[in-house]
Amino acid sequence: MKYINIKIISILILLAVTYFSCNKNNLDLKPLQPTESDYFSTELEFTKTVYGIYAKLTDYYWYNGGQDNCALPVQILPGDDITTPAKEEFEYFTSLNPSSSRLQYFYKTCYQLIGRSNVLLQKNSAVATGIYTTANLKNYHRGEALFLRSLGYYHLWNIFGTAPLVTERIQSSDKLSPGNSKKTELLDQAIIDLKEAATLLPLNWDVNNKGRATSNSANGLLGKCLVFRANATKSTEDYQSAITAFNAISGVSLVAKFDDNFAADTENNPESLFEFQATQANFDNVWLANDFDPNNQVGSMSSFWGLYDTNNFALFGKSPFVATGKLVNIFDTKDPRRDLTLDSASRSIKKYLARGKSTNSGVASADNPRILRYADVLLLKAEAILQSGGAASEAIGLINQVRSRARAMVGGGTFPADLSTAESNKTTIMQWIMDERLRELAGEGQRWYDIKRWHIAGFITLNNNFFSSANSALIGFDPNKHINFPIPINETDLNTNIVQNPGY
């Protein structure tokens, strides 16, 4: 009897297993996590995807536990405004080579930014009717992706000069090994993207979305890219188009206080066209990446100003970044910007530190890096007017706007005095613009991009003598080689269609 019961139970189990294993409903199980095929089903999911693109900006500005793991020296150190006592590869140019881990990190970040933008652009173009319910949000998302993608192209051109131009999502093996871009093709695509983005983005976002790209962001970067391309191609038309883009910027102004542009309590002010949102709501751990994961906000969204902090323990014995002698001397001693930018005795940098805010980890900064501000635009517009044959007095007037803001900070003093609008010598006025950009934008990661493009345009000559005038420790600069940095060896090894930059 006992044997019969066991036999009956075994048969029932076998029948049950057979039934459930053959039931198609049990075979069609949903994955535990969302998949691409079912993810883009609400506008909120598209918004989260856009946030994921913005998240990649963290890798440009992240000060993650010391200099060796920070990408910003790639932009900061090659210029003539910032230096360090250590023999850094981006100053000690003879040690610059394709094996640089920082160049690999920078290059990878650019393409991750571009890649995420391409996914959003693909999904946004193919979205089903009815998914977007908020007016204009579909266009805003496309505009944001185009703007952020253009930033990737802009950085690639300025650092490497050439790199593969990827304008679509890569989904097949035949697209895995694109060759180099040619001449200004990276800037060309950035300009195309920004022209469209400017027509799609809003002039302003509401307070809950402050910091997202706007039409002013797009027009500002568009004008900048056009000036850069004009430097390379000598195109008067590009200079004129840049002026048009700058004139389309609306509702912005220079703030009354120069240092409001670097203070934690005056972020996203009327002078800021676009900035990286570095504030972290929860605990900031600078050794962990942050990819805008709403369930695990402990990674870093902070910025890189620890490099300027002479007392930051996270330097781990490395030398901080300080002002060059050239930067100290470019200021009139009565120019209030000097003492807000640096300490003239120690040459330590004050920007983002004097009125900044440390993260709760105490290592990095929660102060937003200003990526594009109106003072930058005014000086670029002055350059475009001058180089396109416009009125010299108008160009000088724009320089004087920046100088008068500085002068007004000390109750209407006399320094820096207005430059004479009667000056007509083009070379003299261009030198005024170049010097004013050094004073105004020092330490903000702009200077290398400026002097590189001016060298290409023939306004200056980059060589050892040029750099030695800023810092005698700088040696080994070869303009035929170092004007473009080496493409990372990992990339040329994996993609044989990429041709390495000359000299490396």
- For the chain, which domains are there? 39-270+283-318+331-494 (1.25.40.390)
| 413-445 CB burial, b ≥16 within 10 A, e <16 | eebbeebeeeeeeeeebbebbbebbbbbbbbbb
Q: How far is CA 280 from the centre of its chain?
A: 19
pLDDT of residue 25: 52
Neighbour-count burial of 404, counting CB atoms closer than 10 A to its CB (0-12 exposed, 13-18 middle, 19+ buried): middle
Q: How far apart are CA 357 and CA 367, in angstroms?
A: 6
Q: How far is CA 219 from the centre of its chain?
A: 16
Dihedral sign for Cα 171, 174, 179, 184, please: negative
Q: How far apart are CA 95 and CA 136, in angstroms?
A: 50
pTM: 0.92
Cβ atoms of residues 280 and 290 within 8 Å: yes
pLDDT of residue 468: 79
Cβ atoms of residues 323 and 81 within 8 Å: yes
User: Please, what are the averages of pLDDT over each run of 10 residues along the chain (504 residues)?
Assistant: 41 42 52 78 96 91 68 92 89 92 94 97 97 97 98 98 96 91 98 98 96 98 98 98 98 97 95 90 72 61 81 77 95 96 96 87 84 98 98 98 92 88 98 98 97 98 85 76 97 96 97
Beta bridge mates, 299: 285
3-state secondary structure 87-137: CCCCCCHHHCCCCCHHHHHHHHHHHHHHHHHHHHHHHHHCCCCCCCCCCCH
pLDDT of residue 286: 76
Cβ atoms of residues 99 and 485 within 8 Å: no
pLDDT of residue 1: 41
**Degrees to nearest 5, angle at CA 232 with 94 and 181:** 75
Q: Are strands 322-323 and 370-373 parallel, antiparallel or unpaired?
A: unpaired
Dihedral sign for Cα 254, 256, 261, 267, please: negative
